[in-house]
Amino acid sequence: MAILTSSAVDLADLLLGQDADDTVFTDEELIPVRMLNEFTYCPRLAYLEWVQGEFTDNLDTREGTFGHRNVDRPSARPIPAPTEFGDVPPQPAAVPIETSTSNPTATTSITGAEPSPPSIEPATTAASSPLLKTRSLTLSAAREGLVAKLDLLELDGQHVTPVEYKKGAIPDNPFQAWEPERVQLCAQGLILRENGYQCNAGEIFYIESRHRVTVPFDDALVLRTRELIRQLREMGRGGQIPSPLVDSPKCPRCSLVGICLPDETNLLLRDAAATGLDASTRDSRAGSPDEDGSASTNSLPSPVRHLLPARDDALPLYVKEQGAFVGKDADRLVVRHRTATLISVPLIDVSQVSLFGNVQMSSQALREVVDRGISVCHFSYGGWFAAMTTGHVHKNIELRMAQFATAADPVKSLELAKSFIVAKIRNGRTMLRRHATAQQRSGQTDTTSEPEIDLTDETASPRCVDAQKGSGTSAGWPVQAPAANQDVSEAPSDNRLTQKPSEATARELAQLAEWARMAGRATSAETLLGLEGMAAKVYFSGFARLLKGGHAFDFSGRNRRPPRDPINALLSFVYSLLAKELTIAVRSVGFDPLLGFFHKPRYGRPSLALDLAEEFRPLIGDSTVLMLVNNGEISESSFLARAGAVTLTEPGRKAVIAAFERRMEQEITHPIFGYRISYRRVLQVQARLLSRVLLGELASYPGFCTR
Amino acid sequence: MMKTVYLVSYDVCDPRRLRLTYKKLCGFGMALQYSVFRCELSAMQRQSLKEQLWDILNLEEDRVMIVNLGPAGARGDECFEFWGNPRMSIPARTAVIV
């Protein structure tokens, strides 16, 4: 074993305990030192990145990389191996830091803020060899089991100093460095020692402060580093994701916060524990008494922080002009038709591309969008979602393995299927109930107050109320006309609506509630399917009464392949768009979209996307149709009937996509987490939560039910 | 996520770099005048622009000015006044359907 700088022999034995067992790690088992930094910051972060292969940038990581740009280019110059300095025995020479190692508490005496690059002083120890510097050097150590890329290594004879570049300023703590960085640097030191260099301290260069801080590798730090390496290795073997940090100030600045969902997960785990205690059902959980009152009176359940952006930066691009061509010009997507340019949009503003029918796309454009993680969805001219082009398969193989194992297990599959169907029936029921109330009310009063009904009526759970207080209940809403459109449409003029809505609806509501309960207790997939069918029938008969527009929009139940009336044509198309959204969502989380738990696998069918779509059919699909019809955004002339089959015309299809997009971008208050979030983001969060269920972190899938 | 509107202008001393800069900025916003762009960017996109321009420019000879005009949909949109023929239409903040 290499160099030991400590004089405290017994402690040194402890630190170098690995000498006892001569474990040598293979290349596969080496831990990247950067991962050790992440693990020290948050074990869950390290698990997500290291075990599951997740990574995403945020502003901090990008600025960090930018600050690194000078040290990320490897030096061309060769550097001498330690042996090339001659056979100097690995005796610690007069190392100044050693004095502090006998007393671990003395580590606070670091005077690293002084700009003392070793190029000034240390020429005294090895006068013969000049100071060498090398950048971006990758080194591994088989016995330590580590591999690292050193930003900068300064060699002064056999004595070396790793320098780590960090963005930002020197932190205001006694060490003038955060623990993750000190541990990372120390691990680099361990690697260097195993490679035969003398290394007693490292330095952190703070880019913003333009200062170096010395980090001595004292016994306490070495011990801590070794312990963390051991824990990290154990975590990798365990296969169980560590719990999120609780209400940690680290979370808002973590780039993986949208994948980790720390507060959301903690809330669901807490709720699961609470329901486990009093063995109550999901319904009572929503209004459980311990959540009563505001967060200030009850300090235990910390509110879910709004760490996710409410909406995406970029938006979808739909191309349905037949014969159009999508090309790339610099960093823009350009849609041309013959010689005319239809539109040109910067790629940074595009989140997904949907092509309908005969639309061409150049391979340059395809390559570019795929590189940027943008999916291309291919539809038939008539709106059948046929295929999707994406980049490589997601790295999270652990999730796909869990998905396949769960799908092969009928009991677990049924549990998930029940969650989807219960949520679907309940959402359908909510939709009927809301609109029935809206109709009754609009019969007597004016309709201008209706827009809020969609989201804020009812005695929502206390969490929701809290959140609404925070964001302003009604007046403070972002002024977005589409959001308001939906329920304004409930004008009282249509005669069909006045035929005793309350009585019929009340019966339907009771039935749906009962079937939702029964679906939750279903013991076989067949029973569940039957309940779903019965509920759909009742729901759609209620739905038919909500539609206005006379005979053109008569609707007596769902039919498809082909749809035989305008409403069914609309529903089919909107469901197709919804399936597209969920295919993208589950794919981005790392699922295989084709293997579901309720929908049986069939060639080419995105069963998992359809599973997750169930609970959103009423919320997104049906409400979009309702909005289109009742607002008069679509009329009889938007449809073509051919031999009993009804299809949408070109302008009709455009109106449907526009309405669907408005719904997807609409921000709502999340019924469980209480923050503002767009429907499109809700889909992503649900897919993420489903992954947590499959990986065993959450006990049951929390269906998305509005109130 | 709210975006911010920036006015980006540049002096680039070399024809090749000038052309690359122009093309790069086309991917981030729209040209208003010669060497003047309006860009609507999130914090991450602003960082991307910076990184990519750094790769193109020679900052010893060239320079870029970036002015924060305020949030999109608010002051960032209202602060423009054109005399003569304006070359700007505020981009739609909805899905593009063609």
pLDDT tens readout for residues A516-568? 887 778 788 888 888 888 888 888 888 887 877 666 677 777 777 787 788 88
Do B28 and A313 count as a contact with CB atoms less than 8 A apart?
Answer: no
Q: Average pLDDT in the A215-225 region?
A: 88
Give yes or no for residue A657 having a pLDDT over 80: yes
Most confident by average pLDDT, A50-54, A216-220, A476-480, B90-94: A216-220
Confidence band (pLDDT; 50, 70, 90) for A478?
very low
Distances (CA, A) of A693 to A242, A549, A629, A643: 14, 44, 38, 47
| Chain A contact present for B51, CB below 8 A | yes
Are residues A244 and A44 in contact, defined by beta-carbon separation less than 8 angstroms?
A: yes
Question: Best mutation site among A65, A313, A584 for testing chain B: the one with the most B CBs within 10 Å?
Answer: A313
Note the pLDDT tens digit of each residue in B11-54: 999 999 999 999 999 999 989 889 999 999 988 899 999 999 99
- Rounded-to-integer distance, Cα A377 and Cα A354, Å: 5
Look at residue B18 in the predicted model and tell me its pLDDT: 95
Looking at residue A301, its pLDDT comes to: 58
pLDDT category of residue A90 using cuts at 50, 70 and 90: very low
Taking a contact as any Cβ pair under 8 Å apart, which residues of chain A between 262 and 321 contact chain B?
Answer: 309-313, 315-321
Asked if the model's pLDDT at residue B77 lies above 60, the reply is yes
> pLDDT for A229-248, tens place per residue?
888 888 888 778 888 888 88
Interchain contact, A324 vs B98, CB within 8 Å: yes
pLDDT at A276: 62
Asked if the model's pLDDT at residue A448 lies above 50, the reply is no
Interval A120-147 mean pLDDT: 68
Work out the minimum CA distance from B3 to partner chain A, whole angstroms. Answer: 8
- Residue contact B24–A654, C-beta within 8 A: no
d(CA A37, CA A61): 13
Please say if the pLDDT value at position A187 is more than 80. yes
> What pLDDT score was predicted for residue A333?
92
Residue A127 pLDDT greater than 50, yes or no: no
Buried b (16+ CB within 10 A) or exposed e, A373-400: ebbbbbbeebbebeebebeeebebebbb
A458 touches chain B (CB under 8 A): no
Query: Would you call B16 an interface residue with chain A, using a CB distance cutoff of 8 Å?
Result: no
User: What is the per-residue pLDDT across A581-597, written as a single tens digit (0 to 9) for each?
Assistant: 999 999 888 898 888 88
User: Given a cut of 70, is residue A495 above it in pLDDT?
Assistant: no
Nearest residue to A432 (alpha-carbon basis) of A518, A517, A539: A539
pLDDT of A492 above 50:
no
Q: Looking at the partner chain, which of A331, A342, A343 has a beta carbon nearest the beta carbon of B24? A: A331
pLDDT at B79: 86
Q: Is the pLDDT of residue B75 over 50?
A: yes
pLDDT > 70? residue A122: no
**pLDDT for residue A275 is more than 60:** yes
Q: Which of A75-79, A158-162, B86-90, B91-95 has the highest mean pLDDT?
A: A158-162
- pLDDT at A343 exceeding the cut of 60: yes
Q: With contacts defined as CB-CB under 8 Å, which chain B residues touch A479?
A: none
CB contact under 8 A, A330 and B97: no
Task: Please report which confidence band the pLDDT of residue A145 belongs to, taking 50, 70 and 90 as the band edges.
Answer: confident
With contact defined as beta carbons under 8 Å apart, do A46 and A232 qualify?
A: yes
Reported confidence tier of residue B98, pLDDT bands at 50, 70, 90: confident
CA-nearest residue of chain A to B52?
A66
Residue A319 pLDDT:
93
> Beta strands of B1-98 (E only): which ranges?
4-11, 29-33, 36-41, 63-71, 96-97
Region A31-45: mean pLDDT is: 88
pLDDT score, position A117: 38
A331–B44 CB contact, under 8 Å:
no
Q: How confident is the model at residue A226 (pLDDT cuts 50, 70, 90)?
A: confident
Query: Of A63, A318, A331, which has the smallest distance from its Cβ to B97's Cβ?
Result: A318
Letter string b/e over residues A77-96, b meaning 16 or more CB atoms within 10 A of that residue's CB: eeeeebeebeeeeeeeeebe
What is the percent of chain B with per-residue pLDDT over 90, rounded to a whole number?
Answer: 57
pLDDT value of position B1: 56
CB A52 within 8 A of CB A156: no
Q: What distance in Å separates the CA atoms of residue A616 and residue A665, rounded to the nearest whole number?
A: 14
